[in-house]
Structure 1
Amino acid sequence: MIARWCRWIVSLLFISVLLMGCKAEPPLGSAERPIVMGFVPSVETGQLLETTTALTKLLEEETGYQIEPYIPTDYAAVVEGLGAEKVDVAQLSAVAYVLAHDKYEAQTILVTIRKGKTDYRGQIIVRADSDIHSLDDLKGKSFAFVDPTSASGHIYPKALLIQEGYDPDTFFGQTVFAGGHDRVIVAVMDGTVDAGAIYDGARDLPAIREIYPNLMEDTRVIAETKPIPLDTIVVRKNLPPEIVQKIKDAFLAVAATDEGAVILADPYGIDGYLPSQDSDYDPVREAAMALGMDLEEWVKE
């Protein structure tokens, strides 16, 4: 009898241990397991953190989910985070999205609108007092790109140079990756570099205009790239459809509010969003393919 009771107690203990081991994981979007939203470091991190914190708060109110902003040091970390399912949602540049989709099956859900458009151009800028007036004048000069995966701040400007007959790898005296469009502008303005590549709205951003009130007069655009699809809101593979829909609806709702409009305008210069699909970003794939670019290798540079 005692032996039977002992076996019964042991069985209960064994079952208890099993149940403890099978404890359900907290639902995604809960305080214990927030949705992680990645933002690329396109501007100064301190300002970006302030903006993304305010934006995620509004998104939390719309969705009922807990959302945690994530700002790494470069574009590649967001892409890899999506692939490892450590980042659930992200705002990515066109090139970073193409890489995230083709490598990790991330999906675009919204494209940003700026000044009524869903595309933009890269620009090559110099100081207004510079003796550089054309692409040819850049030979042997120092030049700042944004990031290896930046469409407007790297790939399209390089494509422009190649199309005009210049070899970007030997044409410049020195090249650097500044890490953000605002940093390219600072590098040009303080003379660290002779010229740099930015997107066509970077000089209009309030944060950079606070530093350089006369920036439009103090700089010149010497060349522009072909049109580039604008940034996109992206979700990782295997994110539950109901969460995807709520996130999509929340971005559209937030952009339609006065408070949301102010937050999106600075530092991103975003007016709103439109639904998007992967084929919208085929021009980026075509540009990379035509120039023999391996986007994954470029991210590793």
Structure 2
Amino acid sequence: GTITIWNGYHTGDNEEKTLNQLLDAAKKAFPDAKINVLEIPFDQLFNKFETEAATGGGPDMYIAPNDSLGKEARAGLLAPLDDLLKGKLDPYSKLSVQGVTVDGKIYAVPMIPKALAMYYNKSTVANPPKTTDELLALVKSGKKVGIPNSGYHTFGWWRAFGGSLMDDKGKCVADTTGVADAYKFLMDLKAAGANITDDGKLDTLYRQGQLDVYFNGPWVLGGNEDGLGKDKVGVAAMPKGPKGDAGPLTGIDGWYINANSKNKESAVNLALFFATKDAQTLYANIAGDPPARTDVAPTNANVKAFADAANAGVPRPLVPQLDNFWGPFGDAATKIFEGKSQPAFWGPFGDAATKIFEGKSQPADAIKEACAAMNKANKIDTGAVASSSSAAPAPTTAASSSSAAAGPTPTTAPAKCEKLPNMPTAKAGELGSPDKPIVITFVPSGDVPTITKAGNETAECLGKITGLSYKIEVGTSYAVSIEAMGAGKAHAGFLATFAAILAREKYGIEPAMASTRAYTSGGDSDPDKGFAGQQTDFYKGQFITKKDSGIKTLNDLKGKTFCSAGATSTSGWIIPSINLKANGINPDKDLKAVTHATGHPAVVIAVYKGDCDAGATFVDARTDATVLRTYPDVNDKVVPFFLSIRIPNDGLQFIKGFDPVLAKATTDGLLAMMADPGGKAVVRRAYSYDALKIVPATFYDEFKELLKKAGVDAATLVK
């Protein structure tokens, strides 16, 4: 059949030359296929595809970065490819696969990871700066340093100063983290003589030999090597900051398949042909593109440096909230750099960068303004709820859901991580040794870099306590983590309730520990009210409504509008939907409308404002600090009228047949961490546990039986 491809690469550039070479090979490899290629100007590519695909047209496939992947996937314009790609992406880096995954589904064959790094002139800079202090000293020594002034280009500095963009609910928190400090540092560079301006101008200056160091991506590598001379161009990672590694935003170019295509399987096979080891080697050595595959070794050291930078970067978030980032934060940066504001993302943060660098705003002021604009555009600060079709899935555990209520982790002493006595030893080649670490899989309940960092800190401390070696793998979803454990690629995992049930059913993975938290009572009608304030390994959900709504029972919900805390939320939808069905109410037919909100606090606010007649949350989301700040009378106006059954907490599981000696050492080590305030703080940066406790392998069985009686299959609830 005929396969139509849209190509947005610039006419005549090395990427197009590489693609044309591969197209010639593809025509020989697929003699029965007619391959048509249409060149689309890159600045028109996304809009043209979205317009045509929405009306049933468009190409079979196209190649592009993942800028619009989240939006196009949620709109149903792209075909999910999990079945067609099953077992075929093993040679690809984890980050590149994550970069083409939306809501747990894969939507592209990953090709090229791209992120910023540091260019330097080898003839004038023998040792490129490795830290921000060294970079500042380099500027003060008289070397010429260039800093691109856009929100995108400056994003990489944020993590180096402890900054992050959003919390796990999509709310902008840049104004309460180290983002302003990052811009203050860039302003210090400017004051010392650094040139902060448009990246295109800096490209020209570097190629003319008028810059010793500047920052840009692999897309200008060819031009830089042609202009300055290949022997003079060096590439290194962005310098580390006082709070850790820099975190440039990593985008992934990939092959996307149109949901309208009648040739999906053929298109995927062609995309995989363009992404073989040999094909990506061509891209690396001809076009200078970093490979998504881990089995490709570029001959150009600069290309390898960019691949390393991309894999160490921050994956481009594919949530809808990022649509309102660039403008405000770009403006904020300009304000800061021009001396008009102190540091504040795309809409708002593009503006912020502009305001900072032009001196129109101080960094802290610009970042605060940008965050407010971003939250307003995302309707987060007003409490308006978002449709589940445009929101990241809500977490499925109470820990994740209640993280906002827990508030920021207080400052504590460093983790002690003191070695416990009578710990086992692991010889070389044995599980638990440095060359064969125990792999623990984490699933992000929030910001991926934050979870990854916290996981690595947990593994490091756990290693010191036990004398064993651990490695953290951050899964893109619970389903991915379960499969990794089932295949023996991970030995342990922190899984949510339904994931733990499915893991035990499917692969015999056994619960070992459960989290505990101070129990919040559902009031006088709660049979467990005697546990109030005590540590329990369970929690409950609640149905809430306005005090004067007239809704007293579940039967009163017929014909009413309803808000859930997210389609995958345990206490905010899954258990409530079971309660409704048990009372003869079909949520799909008997409720007037169901809106899946972006978290539990959003449900409370929606009910308070009358946007929904009733809703479901964990007990008691009404006490969330952000809700109480804005609506101090919420507990008087919004009341619970029905409580769920006990919902067992999430926790730690081990794979079937895992060495019991290593299991005990691991659980003992985690208990020791949780007993130390510093160690607990490390774990709580990943999951908001008050404590952990040892549980039997049958911990979830009673709850599983209740689900079965209700006709619920755990496999349908795990994303």
TM exceeds 0.5?
yes
> Does 2:499 correspond to 1:112?
no
Q: 1:107 offset after TM fit, Å?
A: 0.6
Alignment equivalent of 2:494, drawn from 82, 91, 99: 91
Residue in 1 that maps onto 2:692: 273
Read off the aligned partner of 1:185 and give its amino acid letter: P
Whether the 8 Å contact between 1:91 and 1:233 is mirrored in structure 2 is: yes
Q: CA RMSD in A?
A: 3.5
Residue in 2 that maps onto 1:232: 651
Read off the aligned partner of 2:498 and give its amino acid letter: V
Alignment equivalent of 1:36, drawn from 439, 443, 463: 439
Whether the 8 Å contact between 2:572 and 2:617 is mirrored in structure 1 is: yes
Q: 1:113 offset after TM fit, Å?
A: 1.6
**Kindly tell me: are residues 238 and 143 of structure 1, through their superposed partners in 2, closer, same or farther at Cα, counting changes over 3 Å?**
same
Q: 1:82 offset after TM fit, Å?
A: 2.0
1:259-288 alpha-carbon deviations (Å, 9 max, x no partner): 123344566442222211132322211211
State the alpha-carbon separation in 2 of the partners of residues 266 and 212 from structure 1. 23
State the alpha-carbon separation in 2 of the partners of residues 263 and 130 from structure 1. 44
Alignment equivalent of 1:185, drawn from 601, 604, 608: 601
State the alpha-carbon separation in 1 of the partners of residues 656 and 632 from structure 2. 42
Structure with max Cα Rg: 2
Residue in 2 that maps onto 1:249: 668
Unpaired segments ≥5 residues, structure 2: 1-427, 519-534
Residue in 1 that maps onto 2:469: 65
Question: TM (normalized to structure 2)?
Answer: 0.33
Give the match's secondary structure for 1:62.
helix
Whether the 8 Å contact between 1:43 and 1:183 is mirrored in structure 2 is: no
Read off the aligned partner of 1:241 and give its amino acid letter: P
Whether the 8 Å contact between 1:60 and 1:67 is mirrored in structure 2 is: no
Residue in 1 that maps onto 2:704: 285
108-117 or 167-176: bigger deviation: 167-176
Residue in 2 that maps onto 1:13: none
**Kindly tell me: are residues 49 and 29 of structure 1, through their superposed partners in 2, closer, same or farther at Cα, counting changes over 3 Å?**
same
Alignment equivalent of 2:503, drawn from 100, 108, 113: 100
Read off the aligned partner of 2:599 and give its amino acid letter: R
Whether the 8 Å contact between 1:143 and 1:172 is mirrored in structure 2 is: no
State the alpha-carbon separation in 2 of the partners of residues 153 and 106 from structure 1. 26
**Kindly tell me: are residues 262 and 167 of structure 1, through their superposed partners in 2, closer, same or farther at Cα, counting changes over 3 Å?**
same
State the alpha-carbon separation in 1 of the partners of residues 684 and 442 from structure 2. 15
Give the match's secondary structure for 2:512.
strand
Alignment equivalent of 1:78, drawn from 473, 476, 481: 481
State the alpha-carbon separation in 2 of the partners of residues 138 and 43 from structure 1. 34
Read off the aligned partner of 2:646 and give its amino acid letter: P
**Kindly tell me: are residues 89 and 196 of structure 1, through their superposed partners in 2, closer, same or farther at Cα, counting changes over 3 Å?**
farther
The percentage of aligned residue pairs carrying the same residue is 25
Q: How does 1:217-228 map to 2 (within 5 A)?
A: 217-218=633-634, 220=638, 221-228=640-647
Residue in 2 that maps onto 1:11: none
State the alpha-carbon separation in 1 of the partners of residues 515 and 633 from structure 2. 28
Q: 1:299 offset after TM fit, Å?
A: 3.2
Q: 1:33 offset after TM fit, Å?
A: 4.3
Residue in 1 that maps onto 2:564: 144
Q: 1:137 offset after TM fit, Å?
A: 4.1
1:227-286 alpha-carbon deviations (Å, 9 max, x no partner): 122222101123222321221111111111011233445664422222111323222112
State the alpha-carbon separation in 1 of the partners of residues 459 and 558 from structure 2. 42
**Kindly tell me: are residues 86 and 185 of structure 1, through their superposed partners in 2, closer, same or farther at Cα, counting changes over 3 Å?**
farther
> Does 2:579 correspond to 1:155?
no
**Kindly tell me: are residues 201 and 189 of structure 1, through their superposed partners in 2, closer, same or farther at Cα, counting changes over 3 Å?**
closer
Whether the 8 Å contact between 1:41 and 1:75 is mirrored in structure 2 is: no
Question: TM (normalized to structure 1)?
Answer: 0.72
Residue in 2 that maps onto 1:17: none
Whether the 8 Å contact between 1:129 and 1:218 is mirrored in structure 2 is: no
Give the match's secondary structure for 2:463.
helix
Residue in 2 that maps onto 1:123: 542
Whether the 8 Å contact between 2:496 and 2:651 is mirrored in structure 1 is: yes
State the alpha-carbon separation in 2 of the partners of residues 265 and 214 from structure 1. 26
Q: 1:132 offset after TM fit, Å?
A: 8.1
Give the match's secondary structure for 1:280.
coil
Whether the 8 Å contact between 1:109 and 1:234 is mirrored in structure 2 is: yes
**Kindly tell me: are residues 226 and 216 of structure 1, through their superposed partners in 2, closer, same or farther at Cα, counting changes over 3 Å?**
farther
Corresponding residue pairs, total: 267
> Does 2:455 correspond to 1:52?
yes
1:96-130 alpha-carbon deviations (Å, 9 max, x no partner): 2111111110011112221111211123456x699
Give the match's secondary structure for 2:536.
coil
State the alpha-carbon separation in 2 of the partners of residues 54 and 131 from structure 1. 48
Residue in 1 that maps onto 2:280: none
Higher relative contact order (CA 8 A, sep 6+): 1
Give the match's secondary structure for 2:718.
helix
Read off the aligned partner of 2:441 and give its amino acid letter: G
155-164 or 36-45: bigger deviation: 36-45
Read off the aligned partner of 2:470 and give its amino acid letter: Q
Read off the aligned partner of 2:561 and give its amino acid letter: K
Unpaired segments ≥5 residues, structure 1: 1-24
State the alpha-carbon separation in 1 of the partners of residues 682 and 549 from structure 2. 38
State the alpha-carbon separation in 2 of the partners of residues 53 and 163 from structure 1. 43
